[in-house]
């Protein structure tokens, strides 16, 4: 465990290769019902630059609406292990499948009103890529390579910090990221 950033109750904690990448990466890649949604940002609609899947209560973000869907047993297993490590509970997971270095996620905050901001846990499998985090005023900037079963917990970071997984030619290859959250009400 390594604390990458801490300020009062705000904390970013990293656990290297906590999960077995050789087991989980092919299992997730081959059994999750991945889809590529249309996303609307700043009034323009285009394909999401990655494939995604959702399990948990109904959830919406950026014009994408996910219906409630129960977590399958393999995700329940991951969730229980993660909850034991972090001492918190989650009831939902957003999965992102980055097919190569051109699939990405721009700067954003997971700050929808129905997400409990206490803890969002990110689990990454496959090719390691640079995950970036910055304070909204840009005085804090952190880069951490994530992949190969790594865990990153973001505690109370969503109101004043943004994060991204930018495009990368140097760090190409398949990558899967799961962000476990607690949804407090249907939205």
Mean pLDDT score of the chain: 94
CB atoms within 10 A of CB 33: 11
Q: pLDDT of 160-171, one tens digit each?
A: 999 999 999 888
> End-to-end alpha-carbon separation of the chain, Å?
34
Q: pLDDT of 5-47, one tens digit each?
A: 999 999 999 999 999 999 999 999 999 999 999 988 788 888 9
pLDDT of residue 12: 97
Q: Tell me the domains of the chain and their CATH numbers.
A: 2-181 (2.60.120.590)
Q: pLDDT of 115-160, one tens digit each?
A: 999 999 999 999 999 999 999 999 999 999 999 999 999 999 998 9
pLDDT of residue 156: 95
HEC sequence for the chain: CEEEEEECCEEEEEECCCCCHHHHHHHHHHHCCCECCEEEECCEEEECCCEEEEEECCEEECCEEECCECCCHHHHHHHHHHHHHHCCCCCEEEEEEECCCCCCEEEECCCCCCECCCCEEEEEEECCEEEEEEECCCCCEEEEEECCCEEEEEECCCCCEEEEECCCCCCCCCEEEEEEECECCCC
pLDDT of residue 187: 44
pLDDT of residue 96: 97
CA dist 156 and 123 (Å) reads 17
Query: pLDDT band at 49, cuts 50/70/90?
Result: very high
Residues 176, 44 contacting (CB under 8 angstroms): no
């Amino acid at each position: 465990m390594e604390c990458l950033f801490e300020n009062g109750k705000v904390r970013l904690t990293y656990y290297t290769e906590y999960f077995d990448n050789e087991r989980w990466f092919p299992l997730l890649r081959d059994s999750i019902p991945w889809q590529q949604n249309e996303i609307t940002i700043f009034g323009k609609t285009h394909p999401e630059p990655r494939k995604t899947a959702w399990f948990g209560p109904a959830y919406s973000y950026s014009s994408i609406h996910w219906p409630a869907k129960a977590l399958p047993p393999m995700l329940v297993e991951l969730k229980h292990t993660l909850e034991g490590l972090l001492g918190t509970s989650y009831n939902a997971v957003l999965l992102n499948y980055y097919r190569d270095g051109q699939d990405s996620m721009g700067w954003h905050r997971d700050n929808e009103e129905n997400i409990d901001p206490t803890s969002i846990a990110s689990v990454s499998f496959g090719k390691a890529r640079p995950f970036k985090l910055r304070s909204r005023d840009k005085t804090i900037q952190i880069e951490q390579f994530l992949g190969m079963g790594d865990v990153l917990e973001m505690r109370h970071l969503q109101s004043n910090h943004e994060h991204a997984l930018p495009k990368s030619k140097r760090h190409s290859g398949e990558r899967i990221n799961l962000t476990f959250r607690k949804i407090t009400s249907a939205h």
